[in-house]
Amino acid sequence: MTRGRRKEAEAPLYLVTGGAGFIGSHIVETLAISGQRVRVLDDFSAGTRENLHPFADGIEVIDGSVTDPDACAESCEAVDYVLHHAARVSVQESWEDPVLYEEVNALGTLRTLTAAREAGCRRFVYAGSASAYGSIGDLPHREDMAPDPLSPYAVAKHAGELYCRAFHDLRGLETVILRYFNVFGPRQQADSTYSGVIARFVADLLAGRGVTVFGDGDQSRDFVAVENVVEANLLACTAPEAAGQIINIGCGEQMTVNRLVDVLIELTGAGCEVGRGPARPGEVRHSAADISRARRLLGYRVNVSVPDGLRRTVAWYRTAGAGESHS
């Protein structure tokens, strides 16, 4: 795919930063299958080329980091819509190397925003995080609640939100902030610090290793299948009233970790033991999304329910190999 100055008659060009990762590669796949023009910026520190292989011939890939101003500028050239998913995503790792998380998640977002504005991109969609709500006890979480981030990861992701708001309000770049709750699905990495709890549990159960629940297991999350997140991103590119907004993306339902384990044991048919570990410091106790704004501004719907999403995820891990690394 050849880069060049944007022409009005051309189909829109989408840039997906972190496009080789879990969520990013699902967005790239959906765009590529529908015949859209797609560019990916990824340094492959977490994402894999394997995630892009099935549709690699129809996309452009730039091997670079959002921490590099030149890579950001090159990537944003002639782009219409930026879907910014490049990030470090482990809460635990962020405590071990908070400076790295600030550099990638906050400064990397700032560099990408700067490049997008200079390139004249139409809209910048930011992959935010429900970790911004922190320990706020009132449920469901609404976008007008004051943020209370509890980890370097959450702080850096929230800083990215603030940069997005500033660029929208003061620099004329349309930005949309999507606050993801607990996203899960095929390709989520199961064997690293980046692992989501569902990916780890499924991989361990299929491998016969059993699972470990930290704390009493009554902590709850709003789990959302990745297919819904992809749809939210595509809607956010053009929804007229979404610009300048923070929008929760979840299912609007809660599931405890204990219940999740029971469902996954049933789906996998595993007869493994469930171990118990100490509660993790700083872990949010309960999380649930108010998705009324997403419905109103985006026309967002939960097309893939949590049970259906879990079935699809287990099926994918059975086929892909539960112990393999897929970001």
Which tens digit of pLDDT belongs to each residue from 169-188? 999 999 999 999 999 999 99
Q: Order across the sheet with 13-17: list the strands.
A: 60-63, 37-42, 13-17, 81-84, 123-129, 174-180, 246-249
Rounded to whole angstroms, the Cα distance separating 36 from 28 reads 9
Q: Can you give the pLDDT at residue 1?
A: 43
State the Cα–Cα distance between residues 236 and 243, nearest whole angstrom. Answer: 8
Predicted confidence (pLDDT) at residue 190 exceeds the cutoff of 80: no
pLDDT digit string, tens, across residues 78-111: 999 999 999 998 888 999 999 999 999 999 999 9
* pLDDT for 304 beyond 80: yes
- Please state, rounded to an integer, the average pLDDT across all residues of the chain: 91
Q: Give percent of the chain with pLDDT exceeding 90.
A: 76
Closest CA to 183 of 21, 321, 38: 21
Q: In this structure, are residues 154 and 132 in contact, taking their beta carbons and an 8 Å threshold?
A: yes
pLDDT tens-digit readout, 12-48 = 999 999 999 999 999 999 999 999 999 999 999 989 9
**pLDDT over 70 (residue 279):** yes
End-to-end CA, the chain? 25
Check if the beta carbon of residue 326 is closer than 8 Å to that of residue 23.
no
Whole-angstrom CA distances from 110 to 79, 117, 157 are 17, 11, 11
Q: Which residues contact 139 (CB under 8 A, 6 or more apart)?
A: 254, 286, 287, 288
Cβ atoms of 213 and 277 closer than 8 Å: yes
Q: φ and ψ at 258, to 5 degrees?
A: -60, -45
What tokens appear for 103 in the block?
A: 């550099």
Q: Look at residue 195 in the predicted model and tell me its pLDDT.
A: 57
- Tell me what percent of the residues of the chain surpass a pLDDT of 70: 93
Say what the pLDDT of residue 113 is: 98
How far, in Å, CA of 170 to CA of 109, rounded?
16
Whether the Cβ atoms of residue 81 and residue 121 lie closer than 8 Å to each other: yes
Please give the distance of CA 238 from its chain centroid, rounded to a whole number.
19
Alpha carbon distances (Å) from 56 to 28, 60, 123: 10, 8, 24
Q: What is the domain partition of the chain in residue ranges?
A: 13-183+226-251+288-303
Q: Looking at the domain covering 13-183+226-251+288-303, what would its CATH class be? A: alpha beta
Q: Residue 176 belongs to what H/E stretch? A: strand 174-180
In angstroms, rounded to a whole number, what is the distance separating the alpha carbons of residues 282 and 233?
A: 29
Asked if the model's pLDDT at residue 192 lies above 80, the reply is no
- Which of 101, 126, 153, 317 is the catalytic position? 153
78: left (phi over 0), alpha (psi -120 to 50) or beta: left
Quick check: is 153 catalytic?
yes
Residue 324, pLDDT > 70, answer no
pLDDT for the residue numbered 10: 80
pLDDT number for residue 325: 39
Own/partner contacts of 46-50, CB < 8 Å, gap of 24 or more, are 46/18, 46/21, 46/88, 46/89, 46/189, 46/192, 46/194, 46/327, 47/18, 47/19, 47/20, 47/21, 47/22, 47/327, 48/20, 48/325, 48/326, 48/327, 49/20, 50/326
Beta strands in 66-155 (DSSP E): 81-84, 123-129
What is the greatest pairwise CA distance in the chain?
Answer: 59
- Most confidently predicted of 9-23, 46-60, 291-305: 291-305
CA distance 98 to 170: 29
